[in-house]
Amino acid sequence: MKSQRISPALKVVAFIAAIFVALPLLSIFVRVPWSDLGHMLSQKSTRDALLISLQTSVIAALLSCLFGVPLAWFLARSSTKWLSVLRVICITPMVLPPVVGGIALLTAFGRQGIVGQYLYDWFNISLPFTRTAVVMAQVFVAMPFLVLAVEAAFRQSDKGLEEAARTMGASPSRVFFTVALPAARPAVIAGIALAWARSLGEFGASITFAGSFPGRTQTLPMAVYELVSVDYRLSLVLSLVLIFISIAVLAAMRDRWLAGR
């Protein structure tokens, strides 16, 4: 297909925009100490941060799926008059500064928190500054991405098929698992990938609610942040790892987001 003519002025502006995004990323590639890469990646502190990041982000993505898919189904099919309010609340973390999310989690689940004080008094459970807190912060920030993607798929799916299943004797939960969920499967997979990528990059909410303790709660983004002033070269290496993971997620999702037309 012949491409549409684009005015030269717009081309220049578009080029500037693309360069603005590409240049900082390329700079990391240029400055990374490639010769020391293997050595730096094998350091204990690096491996710890990488492992904690992978472990917490995978758990956060799975929890986001486990709780987010039913939430998306409810948002797509319920007719309660509070639906729009509920939807706004559920997706607020997407636009909230993550550090505010961390404060909110502390207020709810901290030792003096609305729920946290009882968890501590009654069960001696203290959530802040634990690896569980890292996962909670990641779920808080990442789940809305999955919910939005999956809710859209549920809304677009054919209600007629669900009705047919009902008339064939299927209970509402059977309809969900055998008809609605298979139809939304591509969106669920995309939502999990999106939630995982967002969890992996999570920084503000996690560092506020879980702190940055090496070997315990320090994830890759936290390590990068702390290393900038101490070991700039190592922070570049860790940044490179995160860039590679981001590119891998985009490549895996290319049919969904990168389809040119």
Partner 1 sequence: MSISLQGTIGRGEFERALNFSVADGEVLAITGPNGSGKSTIIHTIAGLISLRSGQLQSDNITWDEPSTRIWVAPENRTCAVVFQDLRLFPHMNVIANVSYGLRAHGVAKDEAMTRSSVALTRVGLSSFEKRRPNDLSGGERQRVALARALVVEPRVLLLDEPLSAVDASSRAAIRDLLPEVLSSFAGATILVTHDLGDVEAMATRSLGL
Binding site for partner 1 (CB under 8 A): 158, 160-161, 163-171, 174, 178-179, 182-183
Q: Shortest approach of partner 1 to residue 178 CB, angstroms?
A: 7
Which CB sits closer to partner 1, 139 or 180? Answer: 180
Return the number of the residue (121 or 163) whose C-beta is nearest partner 1: 163
**Encoding tokens for residue 173?**
């939960």
Residue 183 or 243 with smaller CB distance to partner 1:
183
CB distance 121 to 113 below 8 Å: no
CB of 257 vs partner 1, minimal distance in Å: 23
Looking at residue 36, its amino acid is: D
Can you tell me the distance from the alpha carbon of 28 to that of 41, in angstroms, rounded to the nearest whole number? 16
Cα 63 from Cα 60, distance rounded (Å): 5
157 vs 219, beta carbon nearer partner 1? 157
- CB closer to partner 1 out of 36 and 163: 163
Closest distance of CB 174 from partner 1, Å: 6
103 Cβ contact partners less than 8 Å away, ≥ 6 residues apart: 208
CA-atom Rg of the chain in angstroms: 22
Residue 156: CB partners within 8 Å, gap ≥ 6? none
Minimum CB–partner distance for residue 182 and partner 1 (Å): 5
| Least gap, CB of 185 to partner 1 (angstroms) | 8
